[in-house]
Amino acid sequence: MKKNKNKNRVKASTQSLATLPQNIMPIGERVYDDKNIYIHQKVYRQIHKFAEDKNKNESGGILVGKVINELGKDNTIIEGFIEAKYNEATPTTLTFTHQTWEYFHSEVNKKYKGMKIVGWIHTHPNFGVFLSENDKFIQNNFFNDVNHVAYVVDPIQNEEGFYFWIGEKLERCPGFYLFDKNGVKIKTKVFSDTDSVEEKSITKVSTFNIVLAVILIIMMAFNIVAMVNMSDDIAALKKENDTLKAHVDKIQHNIQNNFRTIEGVINSNNLKNNDQNDNNNKNNNQNNKQNIKVENQNNQSETGGN
Ligand SMILES: [Zn+2]
**Spatial distance between the Cα atoms of 209 and 61, rounded to a whole number of angstroms:** 40
Q: Give the distance (Å) from ligand 1 centre to CA of residue 291.
A: 157
Predicted local confidence at residue 243, as pLDDT: 86
Quote the pTM value: 0.57
Distance (angstroms) between ligand 1 centre and the Cα of 126 equals 11
Q: In what order do the strands lie in the sheet with 159-166?
A: 23-28, 175-180, 35-40, 73-83, 60-70, 116-123, 149-154, 159-166, 169-173
Q: pLDDT tier at 74 (50, 70, 90 boundaries)? A: very high
Domains of the chain, by residue range, sit at 2-190, 192-306
Res 190: pLDDT = 64
Span 268-276, average pLDDT: 76
Q: How far is the CA of 212 from the centre of ligand 1 (A)?
A: 46
Which distant-in-sequence residues (6+ apart) come within 8 Å of 64 by Cβ? 78, 79, 80, 81, 82, 108, 112, 115, 116, 117, 118
Q: From the CA of 61, how far away is ligand 1's center (Å)? A: 12
Mean pLDDT is lowest, of 5-14, 96-105, 283-292, for 5-14
pLDDT in tens, 155-175: 999 999 999 999 999 999 999
Cα 214 to ligand 1 centroid, rounded to whole Å: 47
Q: How far is the CA of 261 from the centre of ligand 1 (A)?
A: 114
Please give the distance, rounded to the nearest whole angstrom, from the Cα atom of residue 265 to the centre of ligand 1.
Answer: 120
Q: Domain 2-190: give its CATH code.
A: 3.40.140.10
Q: How close is the Cα of 97 to the center of ligand 1, in Å?
A: 16
- Which position has the higher pLDDT, 238 or 300? 238
CA of 177 to the centre of ligand 1 (A): 22
CA 201 – ligand 1 centroid, Å: 34
Rounded Cα gap, residues 146 and 87, in angstroms = 25
Between residues 10 and 221, the one the model is more confident about: 221
**Torsion from C-alpha of 231, 233, 234, 238, nearest 10 degrees:** 140
SS3 of the chain: helix, strand, coil, percent, to 5:
55, 25, 25
Distance 218 CA to ligand 1 centre (A): 53
Tell me the mean pLDDT in the region 100-127. 96
135 CA distance to ligand 1 centroid (A)?
5
Q: How many CB atoms lie within 10 A of CB 93?
A: 14
Q: Could you list which residues have their CB under 5 Å from ion ligand 1?
A: 132, 135
Whole-number Å distance, alpha carbon 286 to ligand 1 midpoint, is 150
- Identify which has the larger pLDDT, 160 or 231: 160
CA of 150 from ligand 1 middle (Å) equals 9
Highest mean pLDDT among 156-160, 186-190, 249-253: 156-160
Residues 3-26 have a mean pLDDT of: 58
Going by pLDDT thresholds of 50, 70 and 90, the confidence category of residue 201 is very low
Would the pLDDT of 100 be above 50? yes
Going 145 to 147 to 153 to 157, the CA torsion angle's sign is: positive
